[in-house]
Amino acid sequence: MHKKLSTFSVLYKILERDIKVAWRRQSDVMAVFFFFIIAASLFPLGSGADPKLLNAMAPSVLWVTALLSCMLSLSRMYASDYADGTLEQMMLSNQPTVLIVLMKILAHWMLSGLPLVFVAPLIGLQFNLSGAQLQILALSLLMGTLALSLIGSIGATLTLGIRGTGVLIAILVLPLYIPVLVFGAGAVNAVSIGVSPNGALSLLGAVLAMALVFAPLASTAALKIALE
Amino acid sequence: MYWNSLSEFLAMGGYGFYVWGSFGLTFAVMTIELWLLKKRQKRVMQLVKQEAI
Amino acid sequence: MKNLATKSGFNWLKYASPKTFYPLAGKLIPWCAISAATLIAYGLYIGLLVAPTDFQQGEGYRIIFVHVPAAWFSMFLYLLMALYAGMGLVFNAKLSYLMATAIAPTGAMFTLLALVTGSLWGKPMWGAWWVWDARLTSELILLFLYIGYISLQAAIDDKTRADKASAVLALVGAINVPIIFFSVKWWNTLHQGSSISLTKAPAMAAIMLQGMLIMAIGFWLYSIAVILMRVRCEILERDSKTAMFRQD
């Protein structure tokens, strides 16, 4: 018998393991990152480079691209652990499944959402965004991408082990992403029209809080159904 | 009765296309749903009979 | 559970099993269908022949006699579907899952009808087939939610898992519906300039309201009849042994 680990250290181990595994397959993580940069850079090529137009489009373009980037990696969130039985082992351990799920979500966010928070302002510069707009863009993405990972986890667990998962996850998850998109892009838009972004940001925070409570629960229920 | 003549009724004060389009489409779709269900019911019944034998 | 059922004197749980529900549904369908047809016919008579014109919108307003009931039931059926899905998960009742499955296509159909008739109303009133109005947008998103539910159900081969997984999705969707609708409304007010919104509904004459309510009850009975028909098909398709007990 090995020594009994505290809940905290077990959860930390799960998080550490997920990040290590992802690090071994860096190309997957980098792909999401590059997808965001390339896809966002395509829009000016389609619309023309009028700085005013680009500035008006930027919140929507950057937010929708971020949303799609986060979605791309959802199908991998649980898939490999599900395929090799690790997930079942984790759930059989005496740690609450909700917390395990929360750690998986956190790992996903750190690998696919968080990098976007840092690169988005750079892309924002290409779209002629002002300093104030860039700040709010980064802040809204910081809160919003975590909500995206949380909500996305529901789609990932519901479709676990089904063939042709990618498109199905998109259909399930995109409608649920709408409030995050509206309030996230809305905060940046508020700055553009000279209104305080605080209202939009608090609403985004409320959505994040709701997702923090409900998404792990729903994901846990979906995991149990998938593993039955 | 609100209308004076049939042609007036059909014209719907110039909104004929939109009003009749809405009503027609609604009931067409509802009828199609019913028809598809009837077809499904028939197919299921046949399947059940085959299995019973 | 058993105690509760016997105490109440009426064994309602008996009807929670597909086997006993099947003949009961069979008896209910003709009644619902006949009353639906009668009420819809009467509603059409009031809406198209009796009701006076609207002084603001002219005869174009008559579209609301189908549009509003369709929009009501698109939303109501989604909530009903989520309710059955939730009951299925809580009581592990097969019939509840079957009901949720059977409701989805009819709900999606009413959503589509609400969108199309709304657009047919919008063209003469707003001058455009589609306007990013808060209500139309919400209705469009509701259609996406229905599509998600139906796609997930269709994608999973194991029926038991499909029922449970789509039930979780329906519940998640139902929690999200108010948030989504609120966010769309908020979005609509933020971008005032880019959209036209019908802020106040025209004052309705009593006869108009009456016609609309009658149509709504007719649509409701139609929905019940169609949903029960679909449940019966589902029961037979999944468990043809039940067919031995069928009474037509």
In chain A, where the domains are located: 7-227
pLDDT of residue A65: 96
The subunits that touch chain C, with at least 3 C-beta pairs less than 8 Å apart, are: A, B
Spatial separation of the C-alpha atoms in residues C142 and C148, rounded to whole Å: 10
The alpha carbon dihedral of C34, C36, C41, C45 has a sign of positive
C74 CA to chain A: closest CA distance, Å?
16
Helix-helix angle C94-126:C18-44, to 10 degrees: 20
Min Cα distance C140 → chain B (Å) is 17
Q: Among C143, C144, C153, C168, which would you mutate to test the A interface (most chain A Cβ atoms within 10 Å of its Cβ)?
A: C168
Lookup: tokens for A71: 């979605």
Length of chain A: 228
Measured between CB atoms, which of C165, C172, C180 is closest to A178?
C180
Chain C touched by B36 (CB under 8 Å): no
Q: CA–CA separation, C204 vs C68, rounded Å?
A: 13
Q: Does C125 touch chain A (CB under 8 A)?
A: no
Question: In B, which residues are within 8 Å of C73 by CB distance?
Answer: none
A–C interface: beta-carbon pairs under 8 A? 80
Record: contact A168-C151, CB cut-off 8 A:
yes
Is there an interface between B and C (3+ Cβ pairs < 8 A)? yes
What ipTM is given for this predicted complex? 0.90
Residuewise pLDDT in 10s, chain A (228 residues): 455 667 788 888 888 888 888 888 888 888 888 999 999 999 999 988 899 999 999 999 999 999 999 998 898 888 888 888 888 888 888 788 899 899 999 999 999 999 999 999 999 999 999 999 999 999 999 999 999 999 999 999 999 988 777 889 999 999 999 999 999 999 999 999 888 999 999 999 999 999 999 999 999 999 999 988
Among candidate residues A100, A157, A123, A107, the one with its CA nearest the CA of residue A41: A123
Quote the pTM value.
0.89
Across the range C152-172, mean pLDDT stands at 93
Distance (Å, whole) CA C212 – CA C248? 35
Kindly determine whether residue B37 and residue C63, on different chains, have CB atoms separated by under 8 Å.
no
Whole domain around residue B41: which residue ranges? 6-52
Q: Is B34 on the interface with C (CB under 8 A)?
A: yes
Give the tens place of pLDDT for each residue, C172-208. Answer: 999 998 998 889 888 887 765 444 444 445 556 788 8
Cα angle: C205, vertex C206, C207; to 5 degrees: 90
- Per the CB < 8 Å rule, is C67 touching B18? no
Q: What is the mean pLDDT of chain B?
A: 86
- Judge: C172–A190 Cβ closer than 8 Å, yes or no: no
The tally of domains found in chain B comes to 1
Q: Is residue B36 one of the residues assigned to a domain?
A: yes
Domain boundaries, chain C: 25-50+61-194+203-237
B1 located within any domain: no
- Is pLDDT larger for residue C203 or for residue C144? C144
Are chains B and A in contact at 3+ CB pairs closer than 8 Å? no
C-alpha distances in Å from residue A74, one per residue of A67, A103, A155, A173: 11, 14, 8, 10
Cross-chain residue pair C117–B25, CB shorter than 8 Å: yes
List Cβ neighbours of A25 (8 Å cut-off, separation of 6 or more). Answer: none
Q: pLDDT at position C9, please?
A: 46
Q: Is C152 on the interface with A (CB under 8 A)?
A: yes
pLDDT of residue B45: 87
Residue percentage of chain C with pLDDT more than 70? 85
Q: Which subunits count as partners of chain B given 3+ CB pairs below 8 Å?
A: C
- Per-residue confidence band for C15, with pLDDT thresholds at 50, 70 and 90: low
- Confidence tier at C4 by pLDDT (50, 70, 90): very low
Distance CA A132, CA A114 (A): 20
CB contact under 8 A, B26 and C105: no
Cβ distance C230 to B1 less than 8 Å, yes or no, reads: no
